[in-house]
Amino acid sequence: MGIMNFTGTTLKNLFSKPATKLYPSVPQDYKERTRGHVVNDIDTCIFCGMCMRKCPTGAISVDRNTRTWQIDRMNCVQCACCVKNCPKNCLSMGKEYTTPDTEKTIDVLQKILTPEEIAAEEAAKKAQQEKIKAAMEAKKAAEAAKAAEAAKTEEPAKAE
Ligand code: SF4
Ligand code: SF4
């Protein structure tokens, strides 16, 4: 009985398509929800660093000053934690897996600002500094007024 089963399977396999593919010459069909690799739409990124803080393996580095975002793909475990926590939704999971390599490479993305964007950023910075300065001056004035009021109430008490 066992031999009959075996023969049947052998004959079936002889006349059916192979169960395997000649990957990579035949491309892989990825399922809809395959988590292959992390993709960043760098133009939408605000370099807040949330993805870096949420990554459990420390695969992502973000530098706000140089506007660079980088990922060590060999350290990434495709958990999609960074994707779920990105406030700008600029991260997503691409279906294809990272290409095999003999060396550990780090992918670096840098956002280049237009002159208008640089000017807008500088104006926002300046406005923020002025706001802080005005708040500090208001605080100082309030403290001085409070001290003057206290001195006024102390003077009549001394005269008596
Ligand atoms: S969480 Fe999103 S917006 Fe923030 S640095 Fe990462 S990719 Fe950019
Ligand atoms: S998918 Fe997970 S492991 Fe990979 S970079 Fe994002 S948070 Fe880190």
In this predicted structure, what is the pLDDT of residue 160? 58
In this predicted structure, what is the pLDDT of residue 51? 98
| Nearest atom within ligand 1 for CA of residue 82 | 1
> Are both 43 and 101 inside the same structural domain?
yes
pLDDT tens by residue, the chain, 160 residues: 566 778 888 888 889 988 888 887 888 888 889 999 999 999 999 999 999 999 999 999 999 999 999 999 999 999 999 999 999 999 999 998 888 888 888 999 999 988 888 899 889 999 999 999 999 999 999 999 999 988 888 776 665 5
> Are both 75 and 126 inside the same structural domain?
no
Comparing C-alpha atoms, which of 40, 119, 51 is closest to residue 79?
A: 51
| Burial group, residue 69, by CB count within 10 angstroms (0-12, 13-18, 19+) | buried
**142 is in which domain, residue-wise?**
113-155
> Are both 35 and 108 inside the same structural domain?
yes
Single-letter amino acid code for the residue at 131: K
Give, for ligand 2, the residue of 54, 57, 83 to mutate: max count of ligand atoms closer than 8 Å to Cβ.
Answer: 57
Question: Other CB atoms closer than 10 Å to residue 51's CB: what's the count?
Answer: 26
Say how many Å lie between the CA of residue 87 and the centre of ligand 2: 15
The residue contributing the CA closest to ligand 1 atom 3 is 45
> Are both 37 and 96 inside the same structural domain?
yes
The residue contributing the CA closest to ligand 1 atom 6 is 51
The answer to the question of residue 99 being in a domain is yes
Number of structural domains found in the chain: 2
> Are both 38 and 63 inside the same structural domain?
yes
Q: Is 62 in the pocket of ligand 2 (CB under 6 A)?
A: no
Pair of tokens at residue 15: 């006349």
In this predicted structure, what is the pLDDT of residue 158? 61
Say how many Å lie between the CA of residue 111 and the centre of ligand 2: 21
Do 96 and 37 touch, CB atoms closer than 8 A? yes
The residue contributing the CA closest to ligand 1 atom 8 is 45
The residue contributing the CA closest to ligand 1 atom 4 is 48
> Are both 48 and 62 inside the same structural domain?
yes
Q: pTM for the whole thing?
A: 0.70
